[in-house]
Structure 1
Amino acid sequence: MTKVVAITGASNGMGFAAAELFAKKGWIVYGGARRVEKIPTAEHIHALKLDVTDHASNQAFIETIFQQEKQIDVLINNAGYGEYGPVEDISLDNARQQFETNFFGAADLAQLVLPIMRAQKSGRIINISSIGGDVYMPLGAYYHATKAALQQWSDSLDIEIAPFGVRSLVVQPGGTQSAWSDIAMKNANKNLKADSVYLTMVQKVSTLLMANEGAISASSEDLAQVFYKAATDARPKRRYFHAFSDRAMVWLARSCPRVFKKLFMTALNYLGNRALKKRK
């Protein structure tokens, strides 16, 4: 029987690549995004308008898929972004929007799809978090909070729904070749108040992220393969990582927080101070 996957945030990056991969593997793919025209067009891919912060949009997304296919085998909660900015400066309206997109959108879609999956006695909800659910950096407080919340929520959900043959799993990407860092830092600058005392911090973090981009080898296509593995493993895991280095970073941040913080601050200050000197 041909399987059906629903993917949010399918207009770019990992969601775009995942839609293409699942379609190539013979799945029926429903990709959702606000910019529906950017969702890939190929055989087996159906593009639907979706705003995960809007309950009516989420409801229409799930109902349309079920009406057409009479099944939903996998939901991939991939939609998300980084609302970066200093905690003191960033507005709580923007912080709430970060949670609406990165966390509550996934929760809403899960509530909508679970009755279908329970009736099928099978299904997987795959929640795309980040190593940022455990690893952290300045300016990303609300982003990291949403990813940590998504992970704890997913673990609790998994226990609740496993008796019905349904699973809730987490993928934790690390650095990936995408526009994510650019968008996050644009938000950080946008969220700075006039004459903010955090301007130097923003410049340092921007320099660190730019330096890291040159070392990133993981592509969106690589992460799409991880999504597919999470969707098809005979014995699904609680967490999925692309690289050992991503898993090691999570372990270090959780098991040796003082060491992690010292290493991070050393890198931040070294690269940041060097960049600031060049600008003078």
Structure 2
Amino acid sequence: MSVVLITGCSSGIGRATALRLVRGGHTVYATARRLDAIADLAAAGCHTLALDVTDERSMTEAVTLVEDRHGAIDVLVNNAGYGEYGAIEEADLDRVRRQFETNVFGLARLTQLVLPRMRAGGSGRIINVGSMGGRLVFPGGGYYHASKYAVEAISDALRFEAAPFGVQVSVIEPGLIRTGFGDTAAGTLAGSAVHAGPYAALNRAVDESMARGYANRTMSATADAVAKVIEHAAVSRRPRPRYVVTPAAKLLVHARRLLGTRVWDLVLRTQFRVA
């Protein structure tokens, strides 16, 4: 069984992954910024740690504690992340920077911290939770998508760099998952929008489209569906470099690749009802 460190366990995919892996017999360190948000995971058998992926001291102390107890972290699941939505022109760049600190730089720094012991031991797994939004872009989410494209690039480079040391890297690409993500994204969209501004109609269309998508049980899936895939990536002898989660996400990723830019833009204009 493996020693697993998971970020962003207060809700959604992180919480479901912690529960699934601890029930599978793994030693799971579930983390969140506030310990009270993950108290139930401790009751379920997880070790819980306060970990803020935007704070260097917090990250260093968490990794050091786990390594001091176990020698090394076998599996790092970089799950912490959220969506900062809004038109490119209107979005508050300070909020965008905070999103990148969580979605990209926190992921990168934790990876740097765990790799030395993994390399020394000749094994390890790093599982980065990206998004289908790292393979295609919807309007109103440009900065969020940019952060997930960054996760794709980091994962591709790291997979090659770490392979000679026995460290395997996978990126998970969920589609619409029924967690609090959609509500958070809609909240950031509302906060960034100028309600009578030039993008008002687009913002409404994006908001309505997200609401429809997350409510559609055919288009979306539960957090445990992603947790099941993360478990496979953690325990499989030969984990895949990429896992696209949900049939709808697979369809959209392939459609974007096959249709080309002009046709894809036409699809988006139809969906979001813009000229």
* Aligned-partner SS, 2:106: helix
* Aligned-partner SS, 2:177: coil
Residue 246 (str. 1) matches residue 249 (str. 2): yes
Distance 1:112 1:68 in 2: 16
Distance 1:192 1:146 in 2: 20
Distance 2:70 2:186 in 1: 40
Distance 1:137 1:15 in 2: 24
In the TM superposition, 1:1-280 aligns within 5 A as 2-39=1-38, 40-193=41-194, 195-216=196-217, 217-257=220-260, 258-269=262-273
> How far 1:16 sits from its partner (Å)?
0.2
Q: How many residues align?
A: 270
Which consecutive aligned stretches of 4+ in structure 1 deviate over 6 angstroms post-superposition? none
Distance 1:168 1:154 in 2: 7
Distance 1:149 1:235 in 2: 24
Distance 1:9 1:43 in 2: 17
Distance 2:31 2:71 in 1: 18
* Aligned-partner SS, 2:66: helix
Q: CA RMSD in A?
A: 1.6
> Is the 1:20–1:42 Cα contact (8 Å) retained in structure 2?
no
Cα distance per residue 1:201-243 (max 9 Å; x no partner): 1111111111112223410111100110111111111101223
Gaps in structure 2 of 5+ consecutive residues: none
* Aligned-partner SS, 1:41: helix
Structure 2-normalised TM-score? 0.94
> How far 1:43 sits from its partner (Å)?
4.6
* Aligned-partner SS, 1:29: strand
> Is the 1:89–1:193 Cα contact (8 Å) retained in structure 2?
yes
* Aligned-partner SS, 1:23: helix
> How far 1:194 sits from its partner (Å)?
6.4
Give % identity: 40
Distance 2:97 2:87 in 1: 15
In the superposition, relative to structure 1, how do residues 140 and 192 fare at CA in structure 2: closer, same or farther (>3 Å)?
same
* Aligned-partner SS, 2:171: strand
Stretch moving more, 209-218 or 21-30: 209-218
> Is the 1:124–1:231 Cα contact (8 Å) retained in structure 2?
yes
> Is the 2:178–2:222 Cα contact (8 Å) retained in structure 1?
yes
Distance 1:251 1:9 in 2: 29
> How far 1:41 sits from its partner (Å)?
2.4
Distance 2:212 2:180 in 1: 14
